[in-house]
A and B are shown apart, each in its own frame.
Chain A
Amino acid sequence: MSTLPVKTKRYINKDWLMSYLFLLPALTFFLIFVLFPMLKGIYISLYDYDISSFTFNGLENYSTLLHDETFHKAMLNTLLIVIVAVPIVIAFSIFVAMAIYKKSEFSRSFYRGVFYLPAVTSVVSVTVVWGWIYHPNYGILNYLTGAVGAEPISWLGDPRTALMAITVILITTSVGQPIILYVASLGNIPTTYIEAAQLDRATPGQIFRKIIWPLLMPTNLYVIVITTINSFQIFALIQLLTSGGPNYATSTVMYRVYEQAFLLGDFGLASSMGVVLAIIIGVISIVQFKYFGSDVEY
């Protein structure tokens, strides 16, 4: 009588064992190279940690950040980039997706490819060419603005223009993925919905607001989250084009982390910046999911 349940149990356990074996490689890599560094980052942030010392100093790194003006400046710049870039990326991507999703397969692929091009191009190549375009003497931007009578500007050297000049590049590298996503979800909207509205004499504006926009909500949410997270992490464009200058005008949180850790050798303070950034990104993701996610099926 007792043999049958035991047999089943052993069978189930063998099944479990196989599952864990299949998971083992992924889990091992994840624990060593993702989870452990995360915890270690929090741990290091509580230490005075550079080449010469490793001593516990509690929350001192965090209170240093509270009073560190260059960190404030970097945080402000990062927020500014996010606030400018995210809405533009969304609006532009929806515009392009709306304009191309009914086109032929060929031209749809063509435009998707064109707008994804800067995202596939190595960020180094992107910065090298934009550095040239923005160059005060040899760049074509000043040539073009000069043709309409404007004074030449040192786009990346002037604190008033540098941050926005970089944000423009960030935007061009960020729209590729959202466009692909919007084209996919627009294609999933049943055409009958829109045709029915047209029969009822709805204007294109009404159709967009009342039918298309609500159906795009899940995609909007996802795009906002990934674009926000990406913009928060902006680093390579800064490091390669301005190194945070002139006078911290383009310094961002991620660039400050790099500078503090790898140029100044202060791993403790750099880790505390990393933790602060991680918390901010975590909170923003949660808020966005809560706020936009209420009427979204997930």
Chain B
Amino acid sequence: MKTSPKINTQVKISRQRKKKKITPTKIITNVILALAALFFIFPFYWIVTGAFKAQVVATAIPPTWFPLEPIIDNWITLLNNPVLRWTFNSFFIASSEMIGVCLVSSLAGFVLAKKRFPGRKFIFVMFVAAMALPKQVILVPLFTMLADFGWIDTYKGLILPAIGWPFGVFLMKQFSQTIPTELLEAARIDGSSEIRTFIHIVLPLLKPAIGALAIFTFMLSWNDYFSQLVITRSTEMMTLPLGVATMQGEYKTDYGVMMAGATLASVPMIVIFLLFQKSFTQGITMGAIK
């Protein structure tokens, strides 16, 4: 990222200058901002606190804003469902997709950025064009194809299709362009093979991009409800969000149990997000701005 120290000092200077006057516009802006932030945090607060409310408390009106007597019964009820298996499935599927996408995309992105060969442009344009098309649009034919393979309700069927998605290739191509060509030339003159050069020179340079792509893929997989809904059949193969969604049929307005499930389905992803917020931000901006 290009936040040079020069820009930072500029921002600092202008901030100091601004601090002198507190305008009404500024106060109003900040109040609206704070209210909006509250509105965005609230559903999450309601999920987590709801997970510790007894049903009578959860459905009481007026609502209990602060559950002062938290109970863990909801979590015990939740464990009557195969949530551990669902959690494992979510982690396993997301991690496999993450590894697959990073591997395949860094190889392809690198040569698309740094090598000249016939068909290069055509292949890249094909990837980019496909990227603009929503993944969900091909879900019906993909499903019939996976059914022909006998891959419905299997890990293969859930994992492999996601590895074909071209966003990673695009991201890696964009980032690989920043690798100095002289470095690769020097390695070649020293007699390093392409694979050695890739492993020892290119991969270390691509590390930040791969980190961003890894986290991104993990999140997309964890939250890819539609594909998982369609490709999964049995309770054992369900992912965590899907399992929680199906629990709705049984528990309906037993909000405590549902919120415990919702907490479990979202907290791992939120923790990962908070730990790697920088990489997330990088991945988002890198994919958009050349």
How far does the Cβ of B21 sit from chain A's closest Cβ, in whole Å? 12
Q: Which residues of A contact B41 (CB under 8 A)?
A: 114, 117
The smallest C-beta distance from A287 to any residue of chain B, in angstroms, reads 13
Complex Cα–Cα for A235 and B139 (A): 12
Question: Does A219 make an interface contact (CB < 8 A)?
Answer: yes
Chain A positions 187-236 with a Cβ under 8 Å from a chain B Cβ: 187-188, 191-192, 194-195, 204, 218-219, 222, 225, 229, 232-233, 235-236
Q: Are A120 and B273 in contact (CB under 8 A)?
A: yes
Q: Are A116 and B108 in contact, CB atoms less than 8 angstroms apart?
A: no
What is the bound-complex CA distance between A271 and B58, given in angstroms? Answer: 43
A19 touches B219 (CB 8 A): no
Main secondary structure of the interface of B (DSSP, over half): helix
Say which residue of A109, A135, A274 sits within 8 Å of B138 (CB atoms).
Answer: A274
Q: A34-B164, A138-B58 are in contact. Are A102 and B15 (CB under 8 A)?
A: yes
Point out the residue from B140, B143, B225, B240 that lies within 8 Å of A123, measured CB to CB: B225
A65 at interface (Cβ–Cβ under 8 A)? no
With A and B bound together, what is the CA distance between A124 and B242 in angstroms? Answer: 7
Q: Which range contains the number of B residues in contact with the other chain?
A: 35 or more
0/1 interface trace, chain A 170-195, chain B, CB 8 Å (1 if under): 00100001001100110110011011
Query: CB-CB < 8 A to B36: which residues of A?
Result: 92, 96, 115
Q: How far is the CB of A86 from chain B (nearest CB, A)?
A: 15
Listed stretches A21-29, A75-83, A158-166; interface member: A21-29
State in angstroms the CA–CA spacing of A120 and B32 once bound together: 23
Q: Which residues of A contact B2 (CB under 8 A)?
A: 188
* Cβ B140 vs Cβ A191 within 8 A: no
Task: Name A184's closest neighbour in chain B (CB-CB).
Answer: B285
CB within 8 Å for A100 and B33 given contacts A23-B107, A120-B219, A129-B262: yes
List A contacts of B288 (CB < 8 A): 181, 219, 222
A residues less than 8 Å from B245 (CB atoms) = 124, 127-128, 240
For the complex, is A53 an interface residue (Cβ under 8 Å from B)? no
State whether A118 touches B43 (Cβ < 8 A): yes
Report whether B117 and A270 are in contact in the complex, using a CB–CB cutoff of 8 Å.
Answer: no
A267 to B141, CA, bound (A): 8
> In the complex, are the beta carbons of B290 and A298 less than 8 A apart?
yes
**Is B137 at the interface (CB under 8 A from chain A)?**
yes
Instruction: Kindly list chain B residues whose C-beta atoms are within 8 Å of the C-beta of A282.
Output: 132-133
- Find out whether the CB atom of A124 lies under 8 angstroms from the CB atom of B281: no
- Bits for B135-148, please: 1 = Cβ < 8 Å to A, else 0: 01111111111000
Provide the residues of chain B in CB contact with A291, threshold 8 Å: none
Q: What are 6 inter-chain pairs, A to B, with CB distance below 8 A?
A: A23-B108, A23-B112, A122-B244, A125-B244, A125-B265, A172-B39
Other A-B pairs, 6, CB within 8 Å; known A138-B253, A271-B141: A16-B118, A19-B117, A122-B266, A129-B44, A129-B46, A233-B136
Chain B residues at the A interface, C-beta cutoff of 8 Å? 2-3, 7, 10-11, 14-15, 18, 25, 29-30, 32-33, 36-37, 39-41, 43-44, 46-47, 50, 58-59, 61-63, 100, 103-105, 107-108, 110-112, 115, 117-118, 120, 123, 126-127, 130, 132-134, 136-145, 160-166, 169, 194, 198, 219, 222-223, 225-226, 229-230, 240-242, 244-245, 248, 253, 255, 258-259, 261-263, 265-266, 269-270, 273-274, 277, 280-281, 284-285, 288-290
